Structure 1
Amino acid sequence: MLKAIIIDDELYAREELNELLVENKNVEVIAECSNAIEGLKAINSLKPDVVFLDIQMPQVTGLELLSMLDPETMPIVVFVTAYDQYAVKAFEDNALDYLLKPVDTARLNKTIKRVQLSLEKEAALPDYTPVATQQLELIPCTGFQRVLLLEPSEIEIATSEQTGVHLLTSEDKLTASLSLKVLEEKTVLIRCHRQYLINPSCIREIKFLDNGSAEIITKSNHSAPVSRRYLKLIKDRFGLA
């Protein structure tokens, strides 16, 4: 049985699609989300087979959410929209299919069969090489009953801790909704340690330590460790011997 997540800011649309999917008998809806940030968290934690994703949502659209997903673990995405002009863009962004609102039962059943066939083909492949994905223009950060959209250039350090992925700017410490891996692949940030990313343009000083590692100091006086594994990459980046 397919595990599905519905992401739509309209309650009625979510409930209607849920009912249609339950009637199909081949799909289990494991979560319903009212916005893209909730949806991103649910996708990363629940690992669905398929996501039924609304395109037009406030703050972060469905198209923007799709660009935030890790291409190596991305579920199948089916866009659900009231506007058919988004169809071409949906396929350009690697969605498997799109459904027009109000969703037609017969059309939905065809989509579900396409999802099942796609998963069967993927399971038969010996390996998977993700396609190149576009860079993120904005990073969603959560906390204090708000969502802040941060430009990657504002981030000096990103670090993974037990409480989540935290972003240090010149003025603030924010909690990101994305993994370090996605930030590394889709922003200007580069790896300096297993748990740290650094913005090269924000580096003020590199301190070389006796144990073969180093420490980076940013323009705002934040610090990040540089492990021996990544020190050569950092040196090569700046042409250091």
Structure 2
Amino acid sequence: MGGMIRALVVDDEPLAREGIRLHLAKESDITVVGEATDGRNAAALITTLKPDLVFLDVQMPGLDGFEVVEAVAPAFLPTIVFVTAYDQYAIKAFDVHALDYLLKPYSGDRFQSAMRKAREEIVARGSHDSRRRLLEMIAERAGASAHLKRFVVRSGEGYTLVPAADVAFFEAQGNYVRLTTGSRHHLLRITMAQLEKRLDPKRFARIHRSTMVNIDRIKEITPAWHGDFEVLLQDGQRLRLSRNFRERLLP
């Protein structure tokens, strides 16, 4: 594997971050590109810095480690090494899905073992197996499918988190999706097909091959031309409901 591995360290405990930094300083192919002390900042840094590897604490203020992974679009997900002090259930989940973890306190040998696995995963990441396993692990922990609860979007020179409940609708734009909240629009680096699989079907419905709507934002549905319908949102925006997708909203 050529080139340097870009690492991000995420933990709310200063001593824990320092410990990881000291171990990484011994690795000739690792450079630490940033640190975060809480989940929200971690999600933003993963998107902006695009690290290859993240050491991610499980329990943190704001978003926990699992919620950080949920908040980041799949295209931005790096290789993740979880760090935990006590979560035995999570440890078992990692083992089942072949994802590594560091149980505090960990030895130098245990850290080296995690690094070997991380290097192998980074090399194989093009197959998307690591991202798939992450989503499966999150689903097992939650006891349900891993529906996206929030999105990391660009805001000025930085990034912000948009709760899924605030989204009015999504529109496909090539290999991207435009997210609309009221008068604001944001581009997501994900296809409509990928997004649909990760949204809660009880909250979002496909109403056209290029449009998904937040069901809670619908005010009324009225007939239009040629068997199609018009969807009026609570903020006055109007969308087309194709007859091919009418069963999602109409009896």
TM-score where L is the length of structure 2: 0.66
Residue 12 of structure 1: how far off its partner (Å): 2.7
**Match in the other structure for 1:50:** 53
**Helix, strand or coil: the match of 2:8?**
strand
1:232 Cα deviation after fit: 4.8
**Alignment RMSD, CA only?**
4.2
**Shift of the alpha carbon at 1:97?**
0.6
Q: How many Å separate the matches in 2 of 1:224 and 1:91?
A: 48
Deviations 1:71-108 (A, max 9, x none): 4553221111122524124446x572111223422211
Number of positions where the alignment pairs a residue of Structure 1 with one of Structure 2: 222
The offset of 1:113, in angstroms, is 1.0
1:139 aligns with 2:150: yes
Structure 1 residue 208: deviation in Å?
Answer: 6.9
Instruction: Provide the secondary structure at the position in 1 that maps to 2:26.
Output: helix
Asked if residue 88 in structure 1 is aligned to residue 99 in structure 2, the reply is no
Match of 1:198 among 213, 216, 224: 213
Task: Give 1:238 deviation, angstroms.
Answer: 3.3
Amino acid at match of 1:50: L
Aligned in 2, Cα 1:43/1:195: closer, same or farther, shift over 3 Å?
Answer: farther
Quote how far apart the aligned CAs of 1:157 are: 0.4
CA distance in 2, matches of 1:43, 1:213: 42
The alpha-carbon distance between structure 1 residues 10 and 118, as it changes in their structure 2 partners (threshold 3 A), is same
Indicate if the aligned counterparts of 2:58 and 2:82 stay in contact, CA closer than 8 A.
Answer: yes
Q: TM-score, normalised by structure 1?
A: 0.68
Identity of aligned residues (%): 26
Identify the residue that residue 249 of structure 2 maps to in structure 1. 238
For residues 224 and 48 of structure 1, the distance between their equivalents in structure 2, rounded to whole angstroms, comes to 40
- Residue in 1 that maps onto 2:231: 216
In the aligned structure 2, how far is the partner of 1:100 from the partner of 1:72?
28
CA deviation digits over 1:35-82, x for unaligned, max 9? 111111222233222211000112211122223344455322111112
Alignment correspondent of 2:111? 108
- Tell me how far apart the structure 2 counterparts of residues 69 and 117 of structure 1 sit (CA, whole Å): 22
Is the alpha carbon distance of 1:214 and 1:183 closer, same or farther for their aligned partners in structure 2, counting shifts above 3 Å?
A: same
Please list every run of 5 or more consecutive structure 2 residues that lacks an aligned counterpart in the other structure.
140-144, 172-177
